[in-house]
Amino acid sequence: MNLSGRSKIDGEPCELQMGTVNMKPNDHTARIAAVRRPIATAGEVFADRAMIELIGGVHSAQLQLMLWDGSKEIIGPVVEYDAQLYAPPLIESSILRELTLPTRSYQHGTTREFLTDICKLVTNLVGVDEKTASLVARNRIV
């Protein structure tokens, strides 16, 4: 992402160069905050259980992030959490072509329901009995 160019911040001319603000020194310079550079991430889990997930965009080459705070989701090319910006990492196009990412969140059940569904799939597709399938899907759920 090239941020080079000329702009006006707070009415004063400045130059944007790779995430920093370089201004001609004057009385207003102290009021200008530096442009924050996002942290590249494929996912984060925070102490308050909020999380950031890497998701696919409308076009497969446009990665986005989804911020989930437990009640709502925010999707975009850059998300902000706790005054920090986050952006998707750069991923080689050959890997992106092979990578399948979700494009949004979906309603889901409990972990136990998920594992029960896995058991059914293993039983039906692989042809093993239910007891063996439960061993494949289970990892000591409490």
In this predicted model, what pLDDT tens digit does every residue of 73-91 receive, in sequence order?
999 999 999 999 999 999 9
Q: What is the pLDDT of residue 111?
A: 82
Low-confidence stretches of the chain (pLDDT < 70) are 1-35, 58-61, 136-142
Q: How many CB atoms lie within 10 A of CB 27?
A: 7
* pTM for the full predicted model: 0.57
pLDDT for res 34: 54
Q: What whole-number distance in Å separates Cα of residue 58 and Cα of residue 61?
A: 9
- pLDDT tens-digit series, residues 120-136: 888 888 888 888 877 76
